[in-house]
Amino acid sequence: MNRKIFIIHSSEIVRKGINAILRIYFNTEIVMLEKKEELKGFCELTGQEIIIIYENTADSTNTNFFQLQGNNQVKWIAFLNDHEEPAQALPFCKFYITTKTQASQLQKMVSRCWDKTRRHPKTSDSEELTTREKDVLKLVALGHSNKVIAEKLFISIHTVISHRKNITEKTGIKSISGLTVYAILNNLIDTETINPEDLI
Amino acid sequence: MEIFKKNDKLSFVIHRNYHLLPVLNRFGIKLGIKDKTVDDICREMKISTGFFLAIINTYNNEEYFPREELLTFSPLEITHYLKKTHQYYFLVVIPRLDDLLEKLIASNTSDFKGLKMVDVFYKKYKEELTQHINYEEERVFPYVINLIKNKKIDPRYTIRSFETEHSNVDEKLNDLKNLIIKYLTPDYDENICNDFLITLSLFEKDLEDHARIEDKILMPITIEIENKEGR
């Protein structure tokens, strides 16, 4: 997944300072903006891991963030200017920095933001495969291609792919041979008639 | 994020992250290091301190990326380190996994089928990993070494033509963990199973780090050299 960091602050010194601190440690694209409104230009982004470090002032409306928030994994870090009453923070913002924040603290914060968006396998509520998903899994385990599976089950290839995506999300298993083992462990294929070692 | 520096005592580094022990061994460093700093040890062992720090820091922090030093490292140093890592996998980690899995199967009380399947899957994984590593040893590294030593470019290739997918191999390792953690009936000795999973998880982390060094350090430097030589 692609990663981006946005630094939004009216002060050029602050923007460039934060940029310099982060560039040492993170091999990520960093975009510096003067105003929050300029984020509009990036609302087309999808499927990215984004961290937005923004000056928390009361001046702007937040409406244009929601598209970005909806199509990407976004984490927010608010920058509070000294001697200023902080504006009400965005509800999903957990981290704050000020001019007193140490460089290492900021780096830790960004690392923690990445950690949270990464690696944690999605845990959907129901892990149980549907009957149709089991049908597809059986055929995957027997080594059939998407095209053959589509023909056998009278569904489109697109639907087969979508089922396979759901199977992998639910089981946490990606490789075909891993799915075959899963199918055998769950007695979805009859190992009496087939030698399982040939399948894996 | 903690970044180790050349004046840190090596003992401090190990206390902070003992998983670095095998990494130190790959550089030929042995314990009994007294209060020597990273720099002291590197000078003694004739290792480039900058390279050593880059390696332990990338291992310690996934996000660490020594942009500045990147191009100062010698590709020969890097391939040497990567080869040592491969040796460690073949001589230490994989035999340990083989042994633990064998013991795990022997400890099984009833559901022989499940563990048998896991064993078949593990062997398949091992086979793929071996192929992948052999490919690097036989094709990729020699290409890089030849490029550096002879300044000769084989017109048939660039380093990009060797770019291989680590992801398939990584996928299988993760699947293996999930099969055991989530789906295998637990009628085996759990202490052996824990050891197996812990060894597997450490191996996974080491492999990720290894891939990062290849993709983020070796690859860009080699491309840079190719560009200089007029590719």
What pLDDT shows up at residue B162?
A: 74
Q: Give the percent of chain B with pLDDT over 90.
A: 61
A181 in contact with B at a CB cutoff of 8 Å? yes
A87 pLDDT exceeds 70? no
pLDDT (0 to 100) of residue B198: 96
Nearest-by-Cβ selection for B1 from A27, A107, A178: A107
8 Å CB contact of A27 and B65: yes
Residues B171, B211, B50: CA angle, nearest 5 degrees: 155
What is the dotted CATH code of the domain comprising A3-117? 3.40.50.2300
> Is A185 within 8 Å of B174 when comparing Cβ atoms?
no
Token pair 């023909």 in the structure block, residue? A151
Per residue in A144-156, pLDDT (tens digit) is 999 999 999 999 9
Of A23, A107, A178, the CB nearest to B121: A178
Q: Is B117 within 8 Å of A181 when comparing Cβ atoms? A: yes
Both tokens of residue B135?
């490919």
Identify the CATH assignment for A131-199 out of 3.40.50.720, 3.40.1030.10, 1.10.10.10, 2.60.40.10.
1.10.10.10
pLDDT at residue A77 above 80? yes
Q: How does DSSP classify residue A10?
A: S
pLDDT of residue A200: 80
Above 60 in pLDDT, residue A68? yes
State chain B's mean pLDDT as an integer.
89
CA dihedral B41, B43, B47, B48 (to 10 degrees): 110
Judged by DSSP in three states, B176 sits in helix
A 40-99 residues inside an 8 A Cβ radius of B: none
Q: Is A154 left (phi over 0), alpha (psi -120 to 50) or beta?
A: left
Residue A177, chain B, CB below 8 Å: the answer is yes
Query: CA–CA separation, B205 vs B183, rounded Å?
Result: 22
pLDDT of residue B45: 94
Assembly ipTM: 0.85
Query: What's the pLDDT at A92?
Result: 60
Hey, which of A17-26, A80-89, B9-18 has the most confident mean pLDDT? Answer: B9-18
Local confidence band at B214 (pLDDT 50, 70, 90 cut-offs): confident
| Least confident among A87-96, A180-189, B144-153 | A87-96
Decide if pLDDT at B194 tops 90: yes
How do the domains of chain A map onto residue ranges? 3-117, 131-199
Residue A119 has pLDDT above 60, yes or no: no
Length reported for chain B: 231
